[in-house]
Amino acid sequence: MTPRDSAQFPAPQGDSDPLRAKAPVEPYAPAVIARALSQRVSTADGTLAILSEVELAVQAGETLAITGASGSGKSTLLGLLAGLDQPSAGEIVLLGQRLNDLDEDARARLRAGRVGFVFQSFQLLPALTALENILLPLELAGRADARERAAHWLDRVGLAARAGHTPRQLSGGEQQRVAIARAFATDPEIVFADEPTGNLDADTGARIIELLFELNASAHTTLILVTHDDALAARCRRRLHLVAGRAREVALA
Amino acid sequence: MIYLRLGLWLLRRERASGEWRVLLLALIIGVGSVSTTGFLGDRLKRAMSEQGASFLGADLLVTSPRPIETWPAPSVKNGKLKTSPLATSQALEFSSMVAKGDAFQLATLRAVDGAYPLRGSVRIADRPFAAGTPRPAQPPPGAIYVEPSLLPLLSASVGDRVQIGEAHFTIAGVVAEEPGQPGGVFGFAPRVLLRADEVEQTRVLQPGSRLTYLYQFAGAPDQLAAFSAALKLTLDSTQRLIGSREGVETLRGAFANADRYIQLTALISLLLSVAAIAIAAHHHALRHYDQAALLRCFGATTAQLRTLYAVQLLTLGLLGSLLGVAIGAVMQQALVGLILPDAATRLPSLGLAPVGVAVVSGLLALAGASLPALMRLIRVPPLRVLRRDLPPLPVAAWISAAVSGSALLALIAWYAGDAKLVGVFVGALAGLIGVLTLLARLALVAGRGVQRMAHGPLRFGLAQLLRHRFDSTLQLGAFTLALFLVALLALVRSDLIAGWRQQLPPQAPNYFLVNIAPHQQDAVAAYLSQHRLKASTLYPMVRGRLVTKNGTPIAETLPEDARDSNTLRRELNLTWTATLPANNAVLAGRWHGERSAAEISVESGMAERLNLAVGDQLAFQVGDQTLAARITSLRSVKWDSMQPNFFVIFAPGQLDALPASSIASVYVPPNAAGVLPGFVKTFPGITVLALDKLIANIEAVFTQIIGAIQLLLGFLLAAGMAVVIATLLASLDARQQEAVLLRTLGAQRAYLAKGLWSEFIALGLLAGLLASACAEIAMALIADRLFELPLRLHPWLWLALPLAGALLVGTSGWLTTRHITRVPPMQSIRALN
């Protein structure tokens, strides 16, 4: 692991944005830190440990794949890192903020405009067109040039011609492209992706992987993704393998 | 602010969604229902007052033994002089002989101007007892119109010439219908209408003649109110001011609370719509958990989500309410045109108050129905974006119940008005829901047996019905309720109203004999029994005015606002009898019976209005005498019994010293109507009053009210259909999945369609059967308890209701679900994924 050169990896753009201005701009600061992270749930048969003592630090601009078998706790870890849930024990720092100190709404405010998501099931709003789906987080973040930006990102994923189509009229691959454009449109500092190719065939999945990493490289975004697709995991700089809730960093070739 | 805009934006994009549409539809139906009644109530009240006004011939009538020279000055308002815009008409009433050849008869002559009557109309016929046509009440020059009873008395017919005083007139027609009977129902002789400008030439009027000047006024209610308030200060005790309401005193019971009950009927439609809204809102929330979770992921806080969904709800609420109000405005106009065609142009235009009431009702109903679902929606955990099965945090049941309960209770309380009625309404509603749920469950259990015997699509359809048991119960309950109430009202109308005449016989009188002189009593009785007519008890009648209570002038014993009671101003018909009349019941004190003492029995309503109690000493002014007596009992009186009824009944012997004539009622069967002319000729001084007209008026009022309620039940049926559609929409995904499975397994589209049809038709038939049973039971209770009518079954009901149910539920069900039979299986599988 080498520290980044700030000239090579400049701070994300949009510093003039009021929302962005609040964030501490520390190119060397870790985007996400997890310390002794555990998640337990109560079941009828007693307490079940989903995650145990996970330690993790992801620097800004890094790419990390979380892999593991079904039920190994991948998605749970992703949800905790993104601040979508509270851990049973341990500490998480996201974009310089200690999540344990924040309540649900404060964590939501932290996410607004600064965190992007890509889901296995795309999660596009069926009533909105492709363009409008990209527009949604921009509107929520209060971007003045939301519409232009959304059009720009739709073009970036090669779907400018389908702007007025609803998700129902798009193929799975196209829907995921829209979802990726939506995730990057707000210039987030970090993007979380949950099995982004899980619902796609191999060819389409490969193209989606290309797109995801291409956009990530040009936006210098931190990318954390959950996958059981080795090809996808191999594209990441780092890989964290979960076995029964315990994490092990895998050295990549 | 962003979320406000976003809420509207998403709403616009989702406007085609089934849930929003059903929610909006249900809201429109509910608000349409309450706003129709709101508007209608406004105008119906006025219509009833019109009916009252046509009894009187005016909105206000002033009678005076002397001409009134000065009227209250035009009121000064806001510094501007406002001249009275009231329409006026003047008439003069006096008694005179009318003669033709050797025959002569005492008649009441009414000399009218061209404006008479201001309200209602006069129908003139060219022969007695014909319907006649509406015509100006003022006869052409040289002509008179006469009451039919005058013709046999004079052996005259239309076209004959008669003499009044020194002038001759042609009988140009008979009065078939005429408003304006200033002395109340009793105490007038055959009447003659003549021109006011031709009174002079009769030379009948001499100094000292007994005259009554009639001044009629009509106009806008607030102007009339101001005018009559000013007028009251100037009138003396010989002059009377009669409002149109007093003109229909006998109908007062029928009017009481009619408006309130109509409004409550409308509320039932709104509450049924609430059920549809609640289902639609719940399903809408279910379908939007993902959306809410996604928005939380994007950084939306709970407050922002609340803003977003609240603005959507409020927008839909306002839109639905306003559309409902628009429908209400159209519906009430249609209704007014239907039942009161001649009044439609005279009614005031729509007020804004009912609009506000309807919109607030709609928002309250929407809030009560949908807040619990939306409260869950904004509490959806963001983690749901990763774990789809994660349900929203449950909202504490008591909060949900409190939110919905208080909104709906507020709504009911608003419409019911008083706590007791709220209690009765809520209790009845809860009981009805309980009974309907039980019945629906039982019916579904019975349906299981049928299903086992059925084959093919029918079996499949019935299986659906039984599987979605909660939905089916709800649909069945809602539709049964709607059909039941529709049927009940139809039965009430056909059985009670049309059957009213049949209920009143065998002995119900249809004629009053008024003004029977003491020496005629035996002869009248003999005449009637000779013609096999049975008259009621003969009641002596003396007219007197109540003047003091316990030595204090009666007006001073009352609070300011009660002093204008009509009972104080007018002369009461006083009687005496030892036997309590048949339709009376003593409520307080003891009936005086044979005891001849200065004791009276007072009607309970009058006692309440005038704050009288047993033991009070009253004094009456009769002519130039004063009559004192102590109240020893209070009575209830069945005013609609068509018997002579009295506010005040003296103990025997107390009125002996006073000049009294008697009154009796008699039943004349239609085939014996020919007896009447003979009677009139035999007893020229006795007035014969036909009650048929009065009965017809009461019936007209009932028909109007029931017509209005029936329109509202149309809303109820629509609301029932909305419930069916809402529950079906909620189950549409599951149904589609099943349909896909069946089609994949080789079922043809026709099979699926038949399955759906059998499900909905079965549901409709069942609802119809349950509703028939409920209606028969309710009707039997009403007939037995309230009207003491014999039990009657209505076979047609058992055919009509199931058919109507099958048609309505079948159509709405099929329209909601038909597309699941049309989607190709492959496409459906994709869509479901």
Whether omega before B117 lies within 30 degrees of 0, making that bond cis, reads yes
- Decide if A48 contacts A221 (C-beta within 8 A): no
Residue B408's identity, in one-letter code, is L
Give the list of residues 6+ apart from residue B763 with CB closer than 8 angstroms, or none. Answer: B465, B472, B475, B476, B479, B724, B805, B809, B813
The pLDDT of residue B222 is above 50: yes
Cα B548 vs. chain centroid, distance in angstroms? Answer: 37
pLDDT of residue B320: 92
CB contact under 8 A, A112 and B300: yes
Say which range, B178-192, B470-484, B534-548, B753-767, has the weakest mean pLDDT: B178-192
Whether omega before A3 lies within 30 degrees of 0, making that bond cis, reads no
Q: Is B712 left (phi over 0), alpha (psi -120 to 50) or beta?
A: alpha
Best of A104, A118, A178, A189 to substitute, by most chain B Cβ atoms within 10 angstroms, is A104
pLDDT of residue B250: 34
Q: Choose among B701, B664, B705, B706: nearest CA to B248.
A: B701
Residues B26-42 have pLDDT tens digits of 899 889 888 887 887 76
pLDDT of residue B480: 87
What residue has token string 């239907």?
A: B338
pLDDT of residue A130: 92
**Mean pLDDT within A216-222:** 89
> How far off is chain A from B391, nearest CA to CA, in Å?
14
B203 touches chain A (CB under 8 A): no
- Looking at per-residue pLDDT, the higher value among B466 and B686 belongs to B466
> Most confidently modeled of B33-37, B309-313, B457-461?
B309-313
Instruction: Please state, in angstroms and rounded to a whole number, the distance separating the CA atoms of residues B672 and B695.
Output: 19
- Looking at per-residue pLDDT, the higher value among A69 and B674 belongs to A69
pLDDT of residue B606: 84
Q: Choose among B364, B314, B270, B320: nearest CA to B37.
A: B270
Kindly list the residues from chain A whose CB atom is less than 8 angstroms away from the CB atom of residue B300.
Answer: 108, 112, 140
Interface of B with A in 301-320 (CB under 8 A): 301-303
Interface of B with A in 215-234 (CB under 8 A): none
- Looking at per-residue pLDDT, the higher value among B94 and A87 belongs to A87
The pLDDT of residue B652 is above 60: yes
B17 touches chain A (CB under 8 A): yes
The pLDDT of residue B80 is above 50: no
pLDDT of residue B708: 65
CB contact under 8 A, B381 and A112: no
Nearest CB among B6, B13, B301 relative to A139 is that of B6
- Looking at per-residue pLDDT, the higher value among A229 and B543 belongs to A229
CB contact under 8 A, A132 and B13: yes
> How far off is chain A from B334, nearest CA to CA, in Å?
39
Residues B174-216 have pLDDT tens digits of 887 776 443 322 234 678 999 999 988 887 775 545 678 888 8
Instruction: Please state, in angstroms and rounded to a whole number, the distance separating the CA atoms of residues B161 and B99.
Output: 9
> How far off is chain A from B10, nearest CA to CA, in Å?
8
What residue has token string 């990441």?
A: A236
The pLDDT of residue B156 is above 80: yes
Q: What backbone phi and psi angles, to 5 degrees, belong to B636?
A: -90, 145
- Of the pLDDT bands very low, low, confident and very high (cuts 50, 70, 90), residue B455 is confident
**Mean pLDDT within B724-748:** 80
pLDDT of residue B252: 40
Question: What pairing do the DSSP bridges indicate for beta strands B191-195 and B103-112?
Answer: parallel
Residue B553's identity, in one-letter code, is P
pLDDT of residue B779: 84
B545 in helix, strand or coil? strand
Instruction: Identify the H or E element spanning B361.
Output: helix B353-378
Q: Is A96 left (phi over 0), alpha (psi -120 to 50) or beta?
A: left
Angle between the N-to-C axes of helices B302-339 and B258-297, in degrees from 0 to 180, rounded to the nearest 10? 150
B2 touches chain A (CB under 8 A): yes
Residues B247-291 have pLDDT tens digits of 444 344 344 455 666 777 777 888 888 888 888 888 888 888 888
pLDDT of residue B160: 92
The pLDDT of residue B706 is above 50: yes
pLDDT of residue B107: 81
- Torsion angle of C-alpha atoms A48, A54, A58, A63, degrees rounded to 10: -60
**Mean pLDDT within B576-586:** 86
pLDDT of residue A18: 42
Nearest CB among B2, B290, B291 relative to A140 is that of B2
- Which residue in B has a C-alpha nearest to residue A108's C-alpha? B299
B290 touches chain A (CB under 8 A): yes
**Mean pLDDT within B739-752:** 79
The pLDDT of residue B632 is above 70: yes
What is the residue-averaged pLDDT of chain B? Answer: 78
CB contact under 8 A, A127 and B6: no
- Which residue in A has a C-alpha nearest to residue B294's C-alpha? A123
The pLDDT of residue A64 is above 90: yes
- CB contacts < 8 Å between A and B, how many? 81
- Which residue in A has a C-alpha nearest to residue B386's C-alpha? A75
Nearest CB among B14, B294, B303 relative to A123 is that of B294
> How far off is chain B from A201, nearest CA to CA, in Å?
15
B58 in helix, strand or coil? coil
> Most confidently modeled of A82-86, B130-134, B500-504, B745-749?
A82-86
B672 touches chain A (CB under 8 A): no
CB contact under 8 A, B296 and A123: no
The pLDDT of residue A31 is above 70: yes
Instruction: Please state, in angstroms and rounded to a whole number, the distance separating the CA atoms of residues A100 and B518.
Output: 105
Nearest CB among A75, A109, A194 relative to B299 is that of A109
> Most confidently modeled of A14-23, B230-239, B502-511, B585-594?
B585-594
pLDDT of residue B388: 72
CB contact under 8 A, A136 and B388: no
Handedness of CA A171, A176, A181, A183 (dihedral sign): positive
Give the list of residues 6+ apart from residue A130 with CB closer than 8 angstroms, or none. Answer: A124, A154, A159, A162, A163, A164, A165, A166, A167, A170, A174, A178
pLDDT of residue A32: 93
DSSP string, A6-30: TTTSPPPS-TTSHHHHTS---TTSE
pLDDT of residue A12: 42
- Looking at per-residue pLDDT, the higher value among B512 and A95 belongs to A95
pLDDT of residue A9: 38
- Decide if A145 contacts A16 (C-beta within 8 A): no
* CB under 8 A, 24+ apart: contacts of B152-158: B152/B677, B152/B680, B152/B681, B153/B103, B153/B105, B153/B190, B153/B680, B153/B681, B153/B684, B154/B98, B154/B99, B154/B100, B154/B103, B154/B104, B154/B105, B155/B100, B155/B101, B155/B103, B156/B100, B156/B103, B157/B127, B158/B126, B158/B127
What residue has token string 């050169």?
A: A5
Return the percentage of chain B with pLDDT > 90, whole number. Answer: 8
Return the percentage of chain B with pLDDT > 70, whole number. Answer: 78
pLDDT of residue B472: 82
> How far off is chain B from A231, nearest CA to CA, in Å?
22
Which residues of A fall below an 8 Å CB-CB distance to B?
75, 78-79, 82, 84-85, 104-105, 108-115, 117, 119, 121, 123, 125, 127-128, 132, 136-137, 139-142, 168, 194
Residues B336-392 have pLDDT tens digits of 766 655 444 555 667 777 888 888 888 888 888 888 888 888 888 888 888 777 776
Residues B370-384 have pLDDT tens digits of 888 888 888 888 888
DSSP string, B592-638: -TT--SSEEEEEHHHHHHTT--TT-EEEEEETTEEEEEEEEEEEEE-
- Of the pLDDT bands very low, low, confident and very high (cuts 50, 70, 90), residue A6 is very low
**Mean pLDDT within A234-248:** 89
Handedness of CA A86, A87, A91, A92 (dihedral sign): negative
- Looking at per-residue pLDDT, the higher value among B336 and B629 belongs to B629
**Mean pLDDT within B583-610:** 86
Measured between alpha carbons, how far is residue B484 from residues B136, B233, B277, B801, B802 in Å? 47, 53, 22, 9, 11
Kindly list the residues from chain A whose CB atom is less than 8 angstroms away from the CB atom of residue B14.
Answer: 127
What is the residue-averaged pLDDT of chain A? Answer: 83
Nearest CB among B5, B9, B299 relative to A112 is that of B299
The pLDDT of residue A33 is above 90: yes
pLDDT of residue B790: 67
B380 touches chain A (CB under 8 A): no
CB contact under 8 A, A84 and B381: yes
**Mean pLDDT within A213-224:** 90
pLDDT of residue A13: 44
Question: What pairing do the DSSP bridges indicate for beta strands A246-250 and A238-243?
Answer: antiparallel
Instruction: Please state, in angstroms and rounded to a whole number, the distance separating the CA atoms of residues B788 and B784.
Output: 4
CB contact under 8 A, B2 and A104: no
| Predicted ipTM of the assembly | 0.83
**Mean pLDDT within B314-341:** 83
